[in-house]
Chains A and B, each alone.
Chain A
Amino acid sequence: MIEIKDLTKVYRFSGNDVEILKGVSFSVGKGEFLSIIGPSGTGKTTLMNIIGCLDVPTSGTYVLDGVEIEKLDDDKLSTIRNEKIGFVFQTFNLLPRATTLDNVELPLIYSTKSGDGKMAKSLLEKVGLADRIHYRPNRLSGGEQQRVAIARALINDPAIILADEPTGALDTRSSLEIVAILQKLNNEGRTIIIVTHEPEIAAHTKRIITLRDGKILSDNLNSQVRNAEAELKNLPVEVKK
């Protein structure tokens, strides 16, 4: 699914070249559930931008679903983002003036398909928001907004789901709910990559890559995958004030 080899990325900051990624290689197979962790400033976001086709590497190769990404121009990268990648962001990134339904169908505007509402509705049902179809984001809680974002990420049936700190802005319960949804999607066969600095979240994924100073420090299978669904049940019941 993903084949990354000797990936480097160099940025120019006030005249100086700074190497953010210093030769990163790994591959991801179909149906994997992977997290990339590491403290901030280790190149996580840069790596994630390259995987997400928002950025191109300085050198190295990146093959996504059989396409050599590093050779593509801006238009083709846009098409790849549209067709093969489902983004989930820390700050949700929904359009504030659009309804839930319109937000979920947003990627369809830039694809050859067109939205008839059916697909979006069934996805919203899947993330438990069937009754929020005509809400605008400001009427939804953080967790609900992130679930809308997940539905949006799924609308084009992408090759991978790419989640950047998906629980960074959420409380414990909402975080677990989001992770539970991602685990469920993975069980259905979705390839998912989470970028996070929280080991707690990474502990729910099947494989953990640790980045340090632009290099892969470790790449291990997680022998004890935690189950978010089960943990949710054990959470103390919220006291409503």
Chain B
Amino acid sequence: MRIIKNSKEAIKSLGSNKLRTFLMMLGVIIGIATFTAVITIGQSGKSRVMKSMNKMWGAMPIAITPGGKDFPMHADVLSAPATLTKEDADAIVREVPNVKDVCLVQITTNVPASYKGKNTTVLDLIGVTPNFETYRTTKVISGEFISEEDMNSLARVCLIGQTTSKELFDEKNPIGEIVSIENVNFVVKGVIEPKGTNPSGRDLDNRILIPQTTFARRMYNLNHLSQIVVGLVDVKKIEKTGNDIAAFLRERHNISSEKFDDFTIRLPSTVAQTFTKTSQTLTIFLAIISLISLIVGGVVIMNIMLISVSERIKEIGIRRAVGAKKKDILSQFLFEASWITFIAGIIGIIFGIAISRIIAFISKTPATISLGAIVLAFIFSAVIGIIFGLQPARKAASLNPIEALRTE
């Protein structure tokens, strides 16, 4: 087959000038590698969000936070709008159907804590009710969780996270030790299992949990909340219940129809969406950048091939003299460009996967190799090869054989 012969000639020609071939491949390798890596990392980011959502929101409850959608979910109760109260929470349990119970959460950040002269700043001090254990999947690996009795007696007991424990106690068992938090002494009741970071990178192990009543009355004298976590009887009706709660709170807070909510209902799915949306936008942005670099790679191929055509005018003349048709020359040069991008594409994909593996290793997340990304990268490199190879190939084919032979 003539076309196979032309393809073989293209490979021979590429093999006989390795430096030129390598330089042409470089741009495409970099472009494809970046593209593959970006898509792969983006994909793993998505699956990582879903995983950590499951880790945090085991029972799939609804969360209500004070202020509109613009307020962060993780707001410090001292600075957040004081629009959600324990009375709101109690009313929701009483009035809204499908609500099983509520978990009250008060958070304040960057709290000084000390143990025997050792000082640290705890990222999150969180006042919680006992059902936080299930609604935010917080297991204690030693000791016990906060109990109803602790709540009733405003007990000065606390649970500490891994990071905090390490900073205050090193390897020592902290159970039963006395920690000073904002100059109030607490007995360590339990140690929380390692939780890692949330999707936005916040360390979930640098925290101390205390009974919500202790937080509200003994420490800060606050009645409003950072979050109300609502447990459901039937999780399948989560959207309807979310809407019911919203309507109920609007009425309770006397919000007229033209005004915005002074609270935000957050369903697990919408929270996950926010996180994935950010990472998706970033992925698309980076993918576009890598596509631009791919196009630059294509332009490099075109340039070098154009130069190579003028260097090889004599060769083209010889081939034409011994019987090559215009389309033979065209297909040889097109094959050269295509083979380059094809091989560079494969190398780029291998590099891309390697890069994402390395990043996954460093950030300790699994790398999801996406077949779609690989196929897409392949198609792109093939298209680049043909588009940018066409012009030089046309130029080569259109040379007059007599003049080409005369060139030195």
CA gap between A172 and B380 in the complex, in Å: 58
Question: How many residues of B are counted as interface, with CB atoms below 8 angstroms from the partner's CB atoms?
Answer: 26
- Whether the pair A87, B322 counts as a contact (CB closer than 8 A) is yes
The segment from A28-36, A91-99, A197-205, A215-223 found at the interface with B is: A91-99
Q: Does A227 sit within 8 A of B, measured CB to CB?
A: no
Tell me if B5 counts as interface (CB < 8 A to partner A): yes
B401: which A residues are within 8 A, CB to CB? 54
Q: Contact: B319 with A106, CB < 8 Å? A: yes
User: Is B405 within 8 A of A89, CB to CB?
Assistant: yes
Residues of A within 8 A of B321 (CB): 52, 54, 81, 87, 93
B5 near A75: Cβ-Cβ < 8 Å: no
Within the complex, what minimum Cβ distance (angstroms) separates A156 from chain B?
A: 8
Question: Is A74 a contact partner of B16 (Cβ separation < 8 A)?
Answer: no
Q: Whose C-beta in chain A lies nearest to the C-beta of B315?
A: A95
CA distance A111 to B323 in the complex (A): 8
Residue among B6, B325, B408 with max Cβ neighbours from chain A (10 Å) = B325
Nearest CB of B to A80, in Å:
8
Closest to A156 in B: B323
Complex: how many Å from CA A228 to CA B323? 31
> Are A75 and B9 touching (Cβ within 8 A)?
no
Q: Decide: B17 and A97 in contact? CB cutoff 8 A.
A: yes
- With A93-B317, A97-B17, A110-B2 known as contacts, the answer to whether A81 contacts B322 (CB < 8 A) is yes
CB pair B325–A106 under 8 Å, yes or no, is no
CA distance A37 to B24 in the complex (A): 47
Known: A75-B325, A110-B325. A98 touches B16 (CB 8 A): yes
Contact with B along A43-80 (1 / 0, CB 8 A): 00000010010110000000000000000001100110
A102 in contact (CB, < 8 A): yes
Check B318–A95 contact: CB distance below 8 A: yes
B207 within 8 A of A: no
B12 and A98 contact, CB distance less than 8 A: yes
Residue of B nearest to A155 (CB): B322
In the complex, are the beta carbons of A75 and B326 less than 8 A apart? yes
Chain A, residue nearest B325 (CB): A78
Binding site for A on B (CB under 8 A): 2, 5-6, 9, 12-13, 16-17, 314-315, 317-328, 401-402, 405, 408
23 A-B pairs in the complex with CB atoms less than 8 angstroms apart: A49-B402, A52-B321, A54-B321, A54-B402, A55-B402, A74-B325, A75-B327, A78-B324, A78-B326, A79-B323, A79-B325, A82-B324, A91-B408, A93-B314, A93-B317, A93-B321, A95-B318, A97-B13, A97-B16, A97-B17, A110-B319, A110-B325, A156-B323
